[in-house]
Chain A
Amino acid sequence: GAGVSQTPSNKVTEKGKYVELRCDPISGHTALYWYRQSLGQGPEFLIYFQGTGAADDSGLPNDRFFAVRPEGSVSTLKIQRTERGDSAVYLCASSSLWREGANEQFFGPGTRLTVL
């Protein structure tokens, strides 16, 4: 079946603009995660959804970052007033918490965001 998909694959924007990054998780996965990966670093946790609600948003760096998952499937990460420091690869992952072997997270290909 299809894996986690993310769109766009690349996004170039100017400082101060608003961007939206989309994640389509694996069908039936109730948990969805957003990570940010800067150059030379491992992925860094941003936010975790269980169903429609954000169960843990402790990794969001500031109030310019916001994420939604209104129907418990697709999620959108929104960044307002982008800054050059926001440039990174944004990764989405999903998992099923109801099966044996739970907690394995399946990652999408990422969206590379470049803020000029």
Chain B
Amino acid sequence: AQRVTQPEKLLSVFKGAPVELKCNYSYSGSPELFWYVQYSRQRLQLLLRHISRESIKGFTADLNKGETSFHLKKPFAQEEDSAMYYCGDTGANSKLTFGKGITLSVRP
């Protein structure tokens, strides 16, 4: 079965500090990795996906098949980045397997 691991529950940084949210996945042949974000009182929404290779809101994530990782990074955190972040992997039938999520808190 697919598994997505987010080893940390909380990351607290000061505004302007770099951020790295860790995500590891179990090998599934052809992983399709996503990061979803949930801001306070809002619904879960897609942040980025690995096949797009794009930067959204300054965030990037690189798929590392050797380490089976898909860490989310941002060089300079902003207060509005404070949210819950979930890493996910899509298997057959497009069902998402999510990690437990991490709370990012960016202090002023």
Contact = CB atoms under 8 A, between A and B. Distances in A.
A55 B90 CA distance: 15
Contacts of A51: none
Q: Most chain-B Cβ atoms within 10 A of its Cβ — which of A40, A103, A108?
A: A103
A48 B90 contact: no
B95 A43 contact: no
Nearest to B92: A56
B22 to A, nearest CB: 14
A107 B43 CA distance: 7
Given A41-B100, A43-B86, A33 B95 contact: yes
B95 A110 contact: no
A103 B52 CA distance: 12
Interface string B70-108: 000000000000000010101011111111110000000
A91 B94 contact: no
B95 A107 contact: no
A42 B101 contact: yes
Which size class do A's interface residues fall under? 20 to 34
A55 B4 CA distance: 22
A108 B96 contact: no
Most buried by A among B44, B97, B100: B44
Contacts of A91: 44
A79 to B, nearest CB: 20
Contact of A43 (B49, B92, B94, B96): B96
B32 interface: yes
B94 A48 contact: yes
A59 B44 CA distance: 20
A104 B99 contact: no
Contacts of A111: none
B46 interface: yes
A48 B99 contact: no
A97 interface: yes
Given A35-B98, A43-B86, 7 more contacts: A33-B94, A45-B97, A59-B95, A91-B44, A97-B94, A105-B96, A108-B43
Interface of B: 4, 6, 32, 43-46, 49, 52, 86, 88, 90, 92-101
